[in-house]
Chain A
Amino acid sequence: MAQQVNQALARQFGLSADEYAKVLAIMGRTPTLTELGVFSVMWSEHCSYKSSRVWLKTLPTKAPWVIHGPGENAGVIDIGDGLAAIFKMESHNHPSFIEPYQGAATGVGGILRDVFTMGARPIANLNALRFGDPALPRTRRIVDGVVRGIGGYGNCVGVPTVGGEINFHPSYNGNPLVNAMTVGIAPKDRIFLSAAAGIGNPVVYVGSKTGRDGIHGATMASAEFGKDAEEKRPTVQVGDPFTEKLLIEACLELMATDAIVAIQDMGAAGLTSSSVEMAGKGGVGIELVLDQVPQRETGMTAYEMMLSESQERMLMVLRPDRQDVARAIFEKWDLDFAVIGHLTDTGRIVVKHRGVVEADIPLDPLAEQAPLYHRPTVEPPKPAPLGPVADPVGLAAGLMTLIGCPDVASRAWVWDQYDSTVGGQTVKRPGGADAAVVKIEDHARALALTTDCTPRYCKADPEVGGAQAVAEAWRNITATGALPLAVTDNMNFGNPEKPEIMGQFAAAIRGMAAACTALDFPVVSGNVSLYNETEGKGILPTPAIGGVGVLEDASKAVGIALIPELDLVLIGHSAGWLGQSLWLREVAGREDGPPPPVDLAVERRNGDFVRGRILSSTVHACHDVSDGGVLVAIAEMALAGNTGVRLLPEPAGVPPHAFWFGEDQGRYVLAVADSAALLQSAAFAGVPAVRIGQTGGGDLTLPDGGTISLPTLRAAHERFFPAWMNGPATR
């Protein structure tokens, strides 16, 4: 059974020759199989961020309201009233391609644990999803499974799924992106961290039992496993939301006591990363006796237990005098509770199993000598200017195409499978506002939550695209009346060993950093997913941004739904930017030109102005202008409120299609009773504003005289998902 540890095996484990040489130097001997496993996962891209760390460090992470930035399980910000919001977004891309339902479900489960492990009750889930070409049967199967998986897990644990976004593009055919975000609330003086402390303190395992789920695949294919190979192949991780729900309740109950010294969920590389990180952060040693680990299967080896990715498990360091209190709580919730080791003063991780020392590794070098790569980058070329583009179809036909295209079509088919109301605090449900608004129980305040990224912009110009993703998140939060506070990011890119991919990464980070700085919108947590490539073709660079803002008074929140007899006012300057616009792609059939520039000073000025108007209770509805431009924004507002709009002629100087479908940034459509007052205050604030329509009736009347009835518009908007998903079965 014993497997020969050598460089060839190390390579199978994903360690380069240089990295394996470092392992040998640290150990002073050939490592055991378990030790090699520990090094390989701790030094993997996923755990070490070895390709991305140099760039991530350049992001702004501080603000007076930031309590914990990157480096903890999730970011923590002060949201007033003695409360903290704890949140993070994380990818589960590859598992969701292999097994869409379980991949997405366990993605939700994992990010929930990252948040409640810090002491927060999760109050909202969001997601950012990218899928391949809808024309491929496989895409439909993946969408169906991912949506069911997100719903299956989130609905059962009882955390409302309140928002998210979905894009389609052929670059995601073999690499769908499933980024899940959880937001939780805790008293700001009751945050739990992962740094272990107290020599001799017990290390406690709680939650589900350990099986052979998701163990590093490489070793399993090797011949030594002989005829058992089939049985021992890595299995898909299966989520158990019921156990997760019990784990949430049990952990929160325990967190109300003073029993916990440190706590961390077992995520990727389970017991290895949790124990190494807890001991490493605390500057202590740790000894584990694996015989005590609750096991679901028989005959598991130390290697298997250390690398298992079984779900719904947590590791804690407890005060020894509170061990019985803790055990009673977990037994009440029918969860496993086992003391599997203790903290030591050796600075090493020692793993024992069946009386044998299976691993004995010094923790400092494991962390400090972790590889860090300054991978070569090539600056992405700036796209050539677009030049004039004629309108081939006219406004009405253009709108009908856009409102029904996969990237804009109603997502109701998706949202209707997510429980968005459980908890009884959802003020703005999916589609009701630019950001979801969730009230905090027993408080007047609410959080505004959104996920954003425009991958086609990022592909054309990653720096502008990175800035735009941040700006759009900021804008969507602003459009509800909330004050944007901080973001979490999920960097989804191709192979970092290719200089052009690393160049995209670096440029996107540069754009994000500039936007986060200018908008006082720091990054407090995040995740990186690299190697999203199939057959050498990478995905569109996709730095997904999850934004969190706060509304002191939840009743001030506005949505996008129109009511009759209001004026529509467009805030922000319209140059008629068609480069990389959705109109250009869907109507003119071109993915071309530079994306719209993001002027961060203007963004801030316009947004601060809009927020002020909303908080003065003079705005009935507000929608930011994004995919599809002003006309799509207005159509969405009309459909949301089932109220027609008569549009006024566009201002002179911009061709009609460029004005109505252009995607200039920093713009909002506001519905107000008194447009004169709004225009006056905008002029006073130096903010461009123009009256562009009036609400009422049952039609959308275009400035060129064309008329589309709301039922016609609605049918076009709502057709895509049901027609696609209920279409004939295909293999």
Chain B
Amino acid sequence: MHAAVVVFPGINRERDMAIALEKTCGRKPRMVWHKETDLSGIDLVVLPGGFSYGDYLRCGAMAAQSPVMRAVRAHAERGGHVLGVCNGFQILTEAGMLPGALLRNASLRFLSMDCHLRVERADTDFTRHYQRGQVFRAPLAHGDGNYFADDATLDRLEGEGLVALRYATPDGAIVPEANLNGSARNIAGIYTPNLRVLGLMPHPEDLVDPLMGGTDGKPLFDGLVAALAA
């Protein structure tokens, strides 16, 4: 698997992502500066977490306009895989590549804690190493992770099976208490219709090493490596 991690100014989890990718696929990802436009030879493009452009104006709004995003969109249109985590998810929605928007957390506070995520389908390249309904743990760290879309969009996402992950209790219940940031229908991550673009708020890349408290996030990367082995 040839992965690229896009570096926007203000991104800060690009190193975490690079470590997770190298650990799982044995190859360092290409770090792509936001002014570059060439993604040839890349299987997986990752938009990592952080505060691109300080998250000033709106989270991800300015990064969504940067030159590299034209290439990312073209990559996705070719059927390429894209993973957007946290700020990356916000950028994907701001760029219109995923529907909806990420609003301020319902508590109006930045949240940094572990959450539990229920895998809604296990037949995608991102989740093939999980089971359907499996719950895994991942740190989240964001101020604006409250997923919003209008009811028609939410219904369509659910109807087409495009909800990837939901905030859940450790035993898999989808209840308000587990919905830490107030997201619509507990949605933590969504796919594009071809299931090749995933945006999610939590950080599986920060839980791939027992030393850091667990390996719950590792199957996501292992699955991608298996799917995209070149």
Contacts and interface: CB of A to CB of B under 8 A. Distances in A.
Question: Do A and B contact each other directly (Cβ–Cβ < 8 Å)?
Answer: yes
B110 A419 contact: yes
B211 A422 contact: no
A422 B111 contact: no
Given A158-B12, A334-B9, A424-B16, A416 B111 contact: yes
**Counting chain A CB atoms within 10 Å of each CB, which of B12, B50, B139 scores highest?**
B12
A242 B11 CA distance: 9
B141 interface: yes
Interface in A369-427: 415-427
B19 A441 contact: yes
Contacts of B56: 242
A245 B15 CA distance: 14
B10 A423 contact: no
B148 interface: no
Contacts of A429: 213
B20 interface: yes
B206 A242 contact: no
B141 A422 contact: yes
Contacts of A313: none
Given A421-B141, A424-B212, A555-B211, A245 B10 contact: yes
A421 B10 contact: no
Contacts of A418: 110, 112
B19 A426 contact: no
Contacts, number: 91
A417 B16 contact: no
Contacts of B213: 427, 429
B54 A158 contact: no
Interface in B143-159: 143
Given A420-B112, A422-B16, A423-B16, A333 B203 contact: no
A156 interface: yes
B15 A246 contact: no
A346 B43 CA distance: 60
Nearest to B113: A416
A23 interface: no
Interface of B, helix, strand, loop or mixed by DSSP: mixed
B54 A422 contact: no
B222 interface: no
A417 B212 contact: no
B51 A427 contact: no
A180 interface: no
A439 B54 contact: no
Contact of B112 (A415, A427, A555): A415
Interface in B42-65: 49-51, 53-56
Contacts of A158: 11-13, 50-51
Interface in B1-36: 9-13, 15-16, 19-20
Nearest to B33: A332
B94 interface: no
A155 B211 contact: no
A256 to B, nearest CB: 15
B120 interface: no
Contacts of A334: 9
Interface in A139-156: 148, 151-152, 155-156
Contacts of B206: 421-422, 424
A528 interface: no
Contacts of B15: 423-424, 441
A246 B111 contact: no
Given A333-B9, A422-B13, A426-B212, A242 B51 contact: yes
A241 B9 CA distance: 12
A158 B111 CA distance: 14
B109 interface: yes
B110 A155 contact: yes
Nearest to A424: B16
Chain A interface size band reads 20 to 34
Contacts of A419: 110, 112, 141
A334 B54 CA distance: 13
Contacts of A555: 211
Contact of A417 (B12, B49, B112, B203): B112
Contacts of B19: 424, 441
A148 to B, nearest CB: 8
Contact of A416 (B112, B205, B212): B112
A148 B109 CA distance: 8
A155 B112 contact: yes
B51 A245 contact: yes
A303 to B, nearest CB: 31
A147 to B, nearest CB: 9
B67 to A, nearest CB: 14
Nearest to A432: B213
A424 B55 CA distance: 21
A535 to B, nearest CB: 34
Given A241-B51, A245-B51, A422-B16, A151 B110 contact: yes
Given A246-B9, A424-B16, A424-B206, A155 B212 contact: no
A336 interface: no
Contacts of B10: 156, 242, 245-246
Nearest to A333: B9
B3 to A, nearest CB: 16
Interface in A226-263: 240-243, 245-246
A242 B54 contact: yes
Contact of A439 (B50, B112, B139, B211): B211
Contacts of A422: 12-13, 16, 49, 141, 206
B203 A241 contact: no
Given A334-B9, A425-B212, A417 B111 contact: yes
A614 interface: no
B171 to A, nearest CB: 15
A157 interface: yes
Contacts of B16: 422-424
Contacts of B109: 148, 416-417
Nearest to A241: B54
A528 to B, nearest CB: 32
A240 B209 CA distance: 33
Contacts of B205: 424
Contacts of A424: 13, 15-16, 19-20, 205-206, 209, 212
Contacts of B113: 416
Contacts of A241: 51, 54
Nearest to A425: B212
A419 B213 CA distance: 15
Nearest to A147: B109
A334 B141 CA distance: 27
A159 to B, nearest CB: 8
B35 to A, nearest CB: 9
B113 to A, nearest CB: 5
Contacts of A427: 211-213
Contacts of A426: 212
The 8 closest A-B pairs by CB, nearest first: A158-B12, A242-B54, A424-B16, A419-B141, A156-B51, A421-B139, A419-B112, A421-B206
13 contacts: A151-B112, A241-B51, A243-B54, A246-B9, A333-B9, A417-B112, A419-B112, A421-B141, A422-B13, A424-B16, A424-B205, A424-B209, A427-B213
Given A245-B10, A416-B109, 19 more contacts: A158-B11, A158-B51, A241-B51, A242-B9, A242-B53, A242-B56, A245-B12, A416-B112, A417-B110, A419-B141, A421-B212, A422-B141, A422-B206, A423-B16, A424-B15, A424-B19, A424-B209, A429-B213, A554-B211
